[in-house]
Structure 1
């Protein structure tokens, strides 16, 4: 496993922990300032780090909120730029439930900035 892949997998694990723990403040440092997320079902576009952190704060405030887990399958680093592409599967399970209510695939573009890998863009597709 390359250093790039290990770093991105580590950052993805931190993102998953932040979601599980409802820690919106921990999500901010994982995102590029001008990041973009396209949601899986309605293709809503959530732009910018501040916008995404606000959405996560609202999500975390709901008692029956969803806990999303992203499972990285592959990471491909660029040999010419400090960027990489991550592909994987995601699932969302209501707090306290065992069975996912939604699941699908995702792709994420990462960039190394100041020695840290941050997400520039993510796109999710709901398949079940």
Structure 2
């Protein structure tokens, strides 16, 4: 059985991997962290991006922008379920233009994770743009 501390560490490590993949425009690594039917709700217009393929296409478009925005998510807390192999992550996100130091936008997010085999994968994320 996975402990709450193990879940917290595993999700924080997976989030760090996701952040590196975003910084490096690494679609393959992002894809490995998503369940096939993952859902993402964007922060400003609440657009729903449903499915791994759709999300990877959205990231591909983001990566081709000049200058491109690099998004970083910072985990504040992870709450592990006591009854299912799922957990909820809460944190802060920001988008910074490549080469800049000031955020273009930032806000809060929540992410649902599920343990599949030995890996924690993203099931859903919702973002809110606050600044």
TM-score by length of 1: 0.98
Structure 2 distance, partners of 1:26, 1:12, is 11
Gaps spanning 5+ residues in structure 1: where?
none
Residue in 1 that maps onto 2:96? 93
Equivalence for 2:72: 69
Matched, 1:81 2:95: no
Q: Which residue of 1 aligns with 2:115?
A: 112
What is the alpha-carbon distance in structure 2 between the residues aligned to residue 29 and residue 47 of structure 1?
A: 16
Measured in 1, the distance between the counterparts of 2:70 and 2:7 equals: 26
Shift of 1:63: 2.4
Distance apart, 1:58 and its partner CA: 1.2
Q: Which residue of 2 aligns with 1:35?
A: 38
Structure 1 stretches (4+) deviating beyond 4 angstroms? none
Report SS of the residue matched to 1:106.
strand
Matched residues in 2 for 1:58 and 1:104: separation?
21
Q: How far apart in 2 are the matches of 1:94 and 1:122?
A: 22
CA distance in 2, matches of 1:114, 1:60: 30
Pick the aligned partner of 2:28 from 22, 25, 28.
25
Equivalenced residues, count? 128
Of residues 27-36 and 57-66 in structure 1, the stretch that sits farther from structure 2 once superposed is 57-66
- Matched position secondary structure for 1:32: strand
